[in-house]
Amino acid sequence: MWLYSWQEIVMMTAAAIVVDWIVGDPKWPTHPVILIGRWIRWLEDKLRPKEKGAAVGDLPHARTVESAERLRTKGIFLTVFTIAVSFGAVLLLILAARSIHEWLGYVVSTWLISTTIAIKGLKDAAYLVYNPLRSGNLQDARKYTGYIVGRDTGELGEEELTRAVVETVAENIVDAVISPLFYALLGGAPLAMLYRASNTLDSMVGYRNDQYRHFGWASARWDDVMNWIPARLTGLLLILVALLKPGLSAQRAASAVRRFAHLHPSPNSGIPESAVAGALGIELGGLNVYGGVESERARMGWPLRPRTQRDIVYAVRMLYGVSFLVMGGLLCVLLVLFY
């Protein structure tokens, strides 16, 4: 390949999974995704200056009113420039590390790939909600659920809190596991970080509200494109996990993907959510509330039983099951390449 051989990339990707299993997202040094987020916010402020005096008025985040076409043009620039800077910065960092020592290049590349995935981070976030639920502390469960979802959580009961967490874990098996690994295998750490920048753009500006409908259009569409193949790979992996794990139904998972995935507003998120719902025999989707406004989301899966807090554990096990399958595949590839 252009930076490392494919054998080297496979080894570093496998090592990155192990690093994430063990370490997760360290508090130091500053996580690259946090740096990307700061860059996006800074560049947005430069492209869309806040209205004079708006910080004191009723709309603290009000922006200068511009035409839809101009906002889309600026949004395209934000998207292209951000992913280019993310790719270029990582490439230069790896080249600098390699110039010092070849093994330092391997270490830096492996660490950078590990920062683009979040297997342990997803598990930890899910268990921040599960543990209070298990002890009957709904207040803390609602608070921690609010950290990982955009919907209002102040009045949610156990079933709805469980749904929110399971949906988040399922959707992020694509965003935080399979997509970054897919791009790491295609182009090493620089391409994996380009994907992470794309996903961060979508999470920060890819909304269909008045503020970002036009400015975030390019970021949202680009993220859909980047996730298209990985989302479908994730669906297959989840079905395989359901086939291998007792108590889960691979047949229901596959049927749910065929029947419900296309109902999701995202062309990609419906695949993992419907697969997990089908495998567990529960229903995901339904009524959410955002800032006091009700929003009905497509319902996926069949409500064969009520949702319980244990479904959070099952969803996390499916997350790890997918990562184990990927690791097994990488080890098989390495055996074939070297022997």
- Quick: pLDDT tens for 140-197: 999 999 999 989 999 999 999 999 999 999 999 999 999 999 999 999 999 999 999 9
Does 17 reside within a domain? yes
CA dihedral of 199, 204, 207, 209, whole degrees rounded to 10: 180
Please state, in angstroms and rounded to a whole number, the distance separating the CA atoms of residues 133 and 141: 6
The whole domain housing 203 covers 6-338
Does 139 reside within a domain? yes
| 251-263 tens-digit pLDDT | 999 999 999 999 9
Is residue 268 within 8 A of residue 174, CB to CB? The reply is: yes
pLDDT value at position 64? 64
pLDDT value at position 56? 39
Does 221 reside within a domain? yes
E strands, the chain, in order: 284-290, 293-300
Is residue 91 within 8 A of residue 190, CB to CB? The reply is: yes
Does 1 reside within a domain? no
- Burial environment of residue 92 by CB neighbours within 10 A (0 to 12, 13 to 18, 19 or more): exposed
How does residue 51 score in pLDDT terms, banded at 50, 70 and 90?
Answer: low
pLDDT value at position 143? 97
Does 279 reside within a domain? yes
Is residue 112 within 8 A of residue 192, CB to CB? The reply is: yes
Does 255 reside within a domain? yes
Q: What mean pLDDT comes out for the span 236-242?
A: 98
Does 247 reside within a domain? yes
Does 77 reside within a domain? yes
Cis peptide before 190 (omega within 30 of 0): no
How does residue 1 score in pLDDT terms, banded at 50, 70 and 90?
Answer: low
Taking the CA atoms of 265, 270, 274 and 277 in sequence, report the sign of the dihedral they define: negative
Write the CB contacts of 328 (distance below 8 Å, at least 6 apart in sequence).
Answer: none
Mean pLDDT, rounded, of the chain? 93
Domain count, the chain: 1
